[in-house]
Amino acid sequence: MRMQNRAGDPSATWMVDAASLALAKKHRQLAFVIPPSRLHEIERKNKIPSIHRLHALALIYRRTMNELLSLYGIDVKPAKAT
């Protein structure tokens, strides 16, 4: 995923960690936590994040889920009524 937190800036990595912890506490859902090691794997090793972590990244980076899903080749379009 190439949402790069300022080209691997360590302070930005820790900001994502802190923001994800706050989000996890707010929603009482540990699945939102993104430790620095996992963020590194997502950004550098193309590890696919869980839906909870993807949602957390969307909120932290102020992007839509559709924008993040498109990074993985998923084009979300409304289904046509039949």
In a domain, 79, yes or no: no
User: Is 4 a residue whose pLDDT tops 70?
Assistant: no
Name the residue with higher pLDDT: 6 or 78: 78
Total domains present in the chain: 1
- Residue 1 in any domain: the answer is no
Domain containing 43: what range?
A: 10-70
The verdict on pTM exceeding 0.75 is yes
**Dihedral over alpha carbons 75, 58, 53, 67 (to 10 degrees):** 10
Q: Is residue 45 included in any domain, yes or no?
A: yes
In a domain, 3, yes or no: no
Could you tell me if residue 5 is inside a domain? no
Q: What is the pLDDT of residue 76?
A: 85
Q: Is the pLDDT of residue 20 over 90?
A: yes
Stretch 21-34: mean pLDDT? 97
C-alpha pair distances (Å), 23 with each of 29, 39, 41, 50, 55: 8, 15, 20, 15, 10
